[in-house]
Amino acid sequence: MFKLFHRIRHHARGTGTMIDFKEQKMQLLDRLERSGYINKIVREAMERLPREDFVPDDVKVSAYEDRPLSIGLGQTISAPHMYGMYSTSLEFQQGKTTKILEIGTGSGYQAALCAEMLRLSGAKGHVYTIERIAELAKRAKDVIKKLGYEDLVTIITGDGTLGYAEEAPYDRILVTAAAPRIPEALLGQLGEGGLMLIPVGEMHGCQTLYKITKTEGTIKQTEISGVAFVPLVGKDGFSV
């Protein structure tokens, strides 16, 4: 049974102040919808997800500000408008199976958002998400289980630049960290008619979000916008 946790009010740590997350969330989603970052199904999925559950206690007060937030270990949860940009590109269809690979689990928010969209759209499918930092993977597993998405999300600890060949090909690949180039493994694991979103550029500089599609074996690359992500670290990414 799906468990929906929506914490409407929360005590700001150490202040005794009550935070109305519901009101903050609605204001944020109204702005994102007016700006064209989210469509109806993405909005509904975001309404159902408690973003505050995906961030550490010391930044919960900022959960519904449209900016990245630190989740520790040098990683961030992206700004809500960025999740909107990614999620509106997914195009789930009722009754159709859509297999998703996410590179960079982080907080687990994008994986949960994809899972909720699968449910709302009536689509079949599964989200496989890879995180290189074991502690973050553990935290994400805990919140995914708490919110009732464990039947739709599998979290793997490993090198995301190599993808996850065991379940390839994928209909959608979402890369949530910036790569120096598009990893060959990910191109190879993108299925026919599939779509990949990936930021490419410098480790801490100019980056561009690209939409990659594969049609009859032909790869098409389209520039979407300038972005700023943490680096994609791994064998076919950046080294640290």
Instruction: Give the catalytic positions in this structure.
Output: 78
What are the C-alpha distances in Å from 111 to residues 36, 87, 101, 181? 22, 10, 9, 23
Phi, psi of 90 (to 5 degrees): -75, -35
SS3 219: strand
Residue with tokens 């959608």: 172
Question: What's the CA gap between 230 and 71, in Å, rounded?
Answer: 12
Closest by CA position to 45, among listed 110, 113, 140, 93: 113
SS3 135: helix
CB count within 10 Å of CB 204 equals 11
Question: What's the CA gap between 87 and 89, in Å, rounded?
Answer: 5
The secondary structure element, H or E, covering residue 69 is strand 69-72
Report the amino acid identity of residue 24. Q
Closest by CA position to 156, among listed 189, 132, 122, 178: 132
What are the C-alpha distances in Å from 179 to residues 77, 92, 95, 202, 221? 17, 26, 33, 8, 15
SS3 224: strand
